[in-house]
Amino acid sequence: MTSLAPDEFNPETTYLNTASYGLPSARALAAVRDANTQWASGRGGPTPNDTVVPELRAAFARLLEGATVADIAFGGGVAGLIAPIAVALPPGSEVLLAEGEFSSVSMPFLHRGDLSVRFVPLERLAEEVRPETALVAVSVVQSKDGRIVDLSILRAATQAHNARLLVDATQAAGWLPLRFADADYWVCAAFKWLIGARSIAFFAATPETAADIRPVGPSWYAAADAWAELYDPIGLATTTRRFDATPDWFGAIAASAGIELIEELTVDKIKTHNLDLADRFRTGLVELGYEPVPGPSAIVSVPGGGDAATYLEQADIIASIRGGGLRFAFHLYNSTADVDRALDTLPKK
């Protein structure tokens, strides 16, 4: 099995680390290079490049089935986009989180100081929702080990107890189909599976749930008409766009090119490709004596496998150590040759 877009990527390593950082496509690099050339000439800047922002907003809405452009806001990172949700909760509110959840999801609630934050095993998250639970926050694909949450079950549990559900799609968007209706709030960074830029993140909320929260320190870009209200703002946008932070336009250009490629290939095709590679890798790991976390997931985690990282580094195979284990990630630019090279490099247990 070859990569899905061989003309767009040419890494010098065996890159199995998308869960940390996705690789930029050739079209993204070219688009950012052109924008920088225009900037250096004195003809670039925010105004001409701002046209990419509504295009990117619409592209992310298409990835989140059922969302509209009016439901999407921009930020620079996930934690900052979660902040309005954390601030809006009444003192003492219970927030339910999974043990081992990525800290950008948990820290906005932990460090507010007056919330009741409860951690439970991921597999028990839905059954631990109770009448006093105000909010459940979870990554649909866990960063540490790739486990996937059944959002339909969790959504039913939160609705049964009138709790809100916040989902981080950073490790999912780009390879796993997502439905807007499966959560009240969505956040997602663009620099991993969306093969975008580190400076772009998305926030999505329905009109109903967005009405429950207020922007924290809104910028000029969140105004009803940002370019017309630079000095005498009339008010914030009435849509979810009122949560916008001022975008990094070069980051938006890179992110737009990344999502463009994903849409061309289709999420369904990428999912099949990624899971086939990950399943092949898991099978090989078991034959070598390892015990990887079961799939299906594009992230393959090997608990306790961190000692083998030296073998990978020496062979220029890029993976991650997370929680003492090895973490591999398979995406559209990977191939069976990448899988087999990693398996050939790892020592037998």
Looking at residue 46, what is its pLDDT?
74
Looking at residue 253, what is its pLDDT?
96
Answer whether 167's CB lies under 8 Å from 105's CB.
Answer: no
**Which residues, in sequence order, are bridge partners of residue 301?**
327
Query: For the residues 122-132, what does the mean pLDDT come to?
Result: 98
Which tens digit of pLDDT belongs to each residue from 32-83?
Answer: 999 999 999 998 777 778 999 999 999 999 999 999 999 999 999 999 999 9
Looking at residue 142, what is its pLDDT?
98
Pairing assessment for the beta strands 164-168 and 133-139 based on DSSP bridges: parallel
Cβ–Cβ contacts within 10 Å for residue 66, how many?
13
Looking at residue 234, what is its pLDDT?
79
Answer whether 339's CB lies under 8 Å from 280's CB.
Answer: yes
pLDDT greater than 90 at residue 1: no
Query: For the residues 122-144, what does the mean pLDDT come to?
Result: 98
Pairing assessment for the beta strands 14-15 and 72-75 based on DSSP bridges: unpaired
pLDDT more than 90, % of the chain:
90
What the block records as the tokens of 153 is: 């079950």
Which tens digit of pLDDT belongs to each residue from 175-194?
Answer: 999 999 999 999 999 999 99
Top-confidence residue, 225 or 266: 266
Pairing assessment for the beta strands 72-75 and 201-205 based on DSSP bridges: antiparallel
Query: For the residues 119-134, what does the mean pLDDT come to?
Result: 98
Query: For the residues 109-135, what does the mean pLDDT come to?
Result: 97
Looking at residue 48, what is its pLDDT?
76
Looking at residue 230, what is its pLDDT?
87
Structure confidence at residue 323 as a pLDDT band (50, 70, 90):
confident
Answer whether 19's CB lies under 8 Å from 299's CB.
Answer: yes
pLDDT greater than 90 at residue 306: no
**What domains, with CATH codes, occur in the chain?**
14-25+266-345 (3.90.1150.10), 29-263 (3.40.640.10)
Looking at residue 228, what is its pLDDT?
87
Answer whether 59's CB lies under 8 Å from 263's CB.
Answer: yes
Answer whether 158's CB lies under 8 Å from 165's CB.
Answer: yes
CA distance 131 to 314: 53
What is the SS3 assignment for the chain?
Answer: CCCCCCCCCCCCCEECCCCCCCCCCHHHHHHHHHHHHHHHCCCCCHHHHCCHHHHHHHHHHHHEECCCHHHEEEECCHHHHHHHHHHHCCCCCEEEEECCCCHHHHHHHHCCCCCEEEEECHHHCCCCCCCCEEEEEEECECCCCCCECCHHHHHHHHHHCCCEEEEECCCCCCCCCEEHHHCCEEEEECCCCCCCCCCCEEEEECHHHHCCCCCCCCCHHHECCCCCCCCCCCCECCCHHHHCCCCCHHHHHHHHHHHHHHHHHCHHHHHHHHHHHHHHHHHHHHHCCCCCCCCCCCEEEECCCHHHHHHHHHCCEECEEECCEEEEECCCCCCHHHHHHHHHHCCCC
Structure confidence at residue 165 as a pLDDT band (50, 70, 90):
very high
The residue to which tokens 């095709």 are assigned:
269
Looking at residue 324, what is its pLDDT?
86
pLDDT greater than 80 at residue 225: yes
CA distance 92 to 105: 18
Cβ–Cβ contacts within 10 Å for residue 103, how many?
11
